[in-house]
Amino acid sequence: MFIWVLALLILCYFLWNHKEQKITDITNKYVFITGCDSGFGNLAARTFDKKGFRVIAACLTESASTALKAEVSERLHTVVLDVTDPENVKRTAQWVKDLVGEKGLWGLINNAGILGSLAPTDWLTVEDYREPIEVNLFGLINVTLNMLPLVKKAQGRIINVSSVGGRVAIFSGGYGPSKYAVEAFNDNLRRDMKAFGVHVSCIEPGMFKTEISNASKVTEKQLAIWERLSPDIKQQYGNSYIERRRTKLKFNSAFSNTNLFLVIQCMEHALTSLFPKTRYAAGKDAKIFWIPLSYMPAALQDFLVLKHSVELDNPKAV
């Protein structure tokens, strides 16, 4: 019996050390991060700069780029990048290639993303769906394809920031479909890159309070959509629906994660571990509720998701 216990302890020790082994010489490694204007990307850029990485931070606006530059070391480079603009992405990739030289790109963190319009399906247009899909999916794919030769040269890491919304469709709109597709792209990319020694990881944050998930901004968008609806749709949902939806959103927002470092820690492990995980769940709600829920029967998923939605007084097609 003692021998079996000892063998189990040795195995646990080996597995723990295996997990904790890290790369060395990070000061010579370049990391490119998208979506550094605010939220996870901004914090990641500042954190990895302090740790010694050569960070290249892509911001959507010049003002955000300037503000970030004022808070970091001279090692960090910024670039203005719209991930939905193919020519902008191509020019940026060439600039990065000239910058990193023969070292290649150790890390690519695809973080840029937007929520888009979160509203019932029959409130939305194709353009409402297209907006987040262009940024969260096609922007991510385009950046990856253009940076991939540099990552392969360094035998580095690609980290795609998805969401628990890529496991369970929580909100109606383009956000969920975009994140579901990111999960599929991530899995295909991971398998394709194994032969080249490139590790690909996916981070699935739960509900976090960031600039893009600001409850007031989400509410403003919903109010704008409500105003453009036909009288028939408004009648079907009832005049009090939009106000109750706003109240529910504020209530749910109050329980969102505020510690953004939970996501940054996942990024760091994926960047520095000799054996990075294929998927990282960030936030207690992701680990305890959303990820387990994604494995549950559809009936249970529907019950729990609908339980937290706004009910209609008298749903009836007109």
Give residue-wise pLDDT tens across range 278-294.
Answer: 999 999 999 999 999 99
pLDDT at 220: 82
Using CA atoms, how far apart are residues 86 and 110, in angstroms rounded to an integer? 15
Taking only the tens place, the pLDDT of each residue in 151-202 is: 999 999 999 999 999 999 988 999 999 999 999 999 999 999 999 999 999 9
pLDDT classification of 19: cutoffs 50, 70, 90: low
Three-state secondary-structure class, residue 27? helix
pLDDT at 23: 87
Q: At what angle do helices 86-100 and 140-154 cross, to 10 degrees?
A: 20
Taking only the tens place, the pLDDT of each residue in 83-136 is: 999 999 999 999 999 999 999 999 999 999 999 998 999 999 999 999 999 999
Residue 215 pLDDT > 70, yes or no? no
Three-state secondary-structure class, residue 273? strand
Dihedral of CA 164/92/74/22: which sign? positive
Catalytic residue, chosen from 30, 129, 175, 280, is 175
Beta partners for residue 133, in sequence order: none
Contact between 83 and 122 under an 8 Å Cβ cutoff? The reply is: no
Query: H-helix or E-strand containing 160?
Result: strand 157-161
Contact between 222 and 172 under an 8 Å Cβ cutoff? The reply is: no
Using CA atoms, how far apart are residues 165 and 7, in angstroms rounded to an integer? 41
Angle at 94 between CA 92 and CA 96, to 5 degrees: 70
In 213-308, beta strands by DSSP E: 279-282
Contact between 36 and 45 under an 8 Å Cβ cutoff? The reply is: yes
Using CA atoms, how far apart are residues 64 and 294, in angstroms rounded to an integer? 36
Our CA dihedral for 65, 67, 73, 76, rounded to 10 degrees, sits at: -10
Angle at 276 between CA 170 and CA 193, to 5 degrees: 90
* SS percent in the chain: helix, strand, coil, step 5: 60, 10, 30
Using CA atoms, how far apart are residues 239 and 242, in angstroms rounded to an integer? 7
Using CA atoms, how far apart are residues 267 and 232, in angstroms rounded to an integer? 47
What domains sit in the chain, N to C, each tagged with a CATH number? Answer: 24-212+258-297 (3.40.50.720)
Q: Residue 92 contacts by C-beta under 8 Å, 6 or more apart in sequence? A: 58, 79, 81, 146
In angstroms, the Cα distances linking 277 to 150, 177, 268 are 22, 24, 11
Judge whether 175 counts as a catalytic residue: yes
pLDDT at 7: 62
pLDDT at 38: 94
In angstroms, the Cα distances linking 161 to 4, 54, 82, 154 are 41, 20, 17, 21
State the pTM of this model. Answer: 0.89
